[in-house]
Amino acid sequence: MGSIFALIHSPLVGPSSWSFVADELRSRGHVVFVPDLRNSVKPTDSIRAAREALPDAPINLVGHSGAGALLPAIGEGRLDRLVFVDALLPATSTTATLAEDDFLQFLEDRADATGKLPPWHQWWDDDVFRGMVPDDHLRQVATRDIPELSLEFFTQPFHVPSSWRDRPCGYLLFSENYRLAATSATERGWPLREVAGGHLHLIVAPRDVACALDELCECLDSREQNP
């Protein structure tokens, strides 16, 4: 019998980033939701949009990249498992923002006079993005629904409920940039899977990513049945 997955895209990219993995999971008999967060002006808008798209049932709540920080609020009051995919772990405080310190300075340097940021893939040299997604067609898929956000999106606070720490969690690592987060996850006793690649490996190798998500959730199943 299949499971229910909700694949939450990073606020910096669009829902198409999960489209290929969603197709793979559906081919395995799972039910998959991919909420669209692109109309968000602040993180609380993204949280609300995701929650409104979720079914009224326990699910595998999966967040890629910046969406990892939002998973506790999206899953608040629910009985979901949380799976972090090449993502920083949520803040330990009860209130957080999506950018501070060096990253905030990085964003401020790229914002125009009105505080508007260019689309995420234009933050880097072309070679950087090409390295993450080498295939020309897949790069078009990756960029076709990337939103243009404002600096305010990253500085607006949102609530981080502490209850998420009691939920079953897992971690899926793609890139070495998130190795410290993955190490922290294993130190918490979470199951870990690795699919080596770039940060957008969910677009490049969806079958491998779907398989790893399946394995993680089967591992969480086993832990729940044999505590």
Domains with residue ranges and CATH for the chain:
4-225 (3.40.50.1820)
Q: How far is CA 58 from the centre of its chain?
A: 18
Q: What is the pTM of this model?
A: 0.95
**Residue 1 has what pLDDT?**
65
Assess contact for 171 and 71: CB atoms under 8 A. Answer: no
Give the orientation angle of helix 19-27 with respect to helix 206-225, to 10 degrees. 60
Q: Which of 170, 146, 154, 162 is nearest to 219 (CA)?
A: 170
**Residue 32 has what pLDDT?**
98
Q: How far is CA 202 from CA 33, 147, 191, in A?
A: 16, 18, 19
Mean per-residue pLDDT pooled into runs of 10, the chain (227 residues): 92 96 97 97 97 95 97 94 96 94 95 95 87 91 92 96 94 97 97 96 97 95 75
**Residue 227 has what pLDDT?**
63
Assess contact for 2 and 30: CB atoms under 8 A. Answer: yes
**Residue 117 has what pLDDT?**
96
Assess contact for 48 and 27: CB atoms under 8 A. Answer: no
**Residue 223 has what pLDDT?**
81
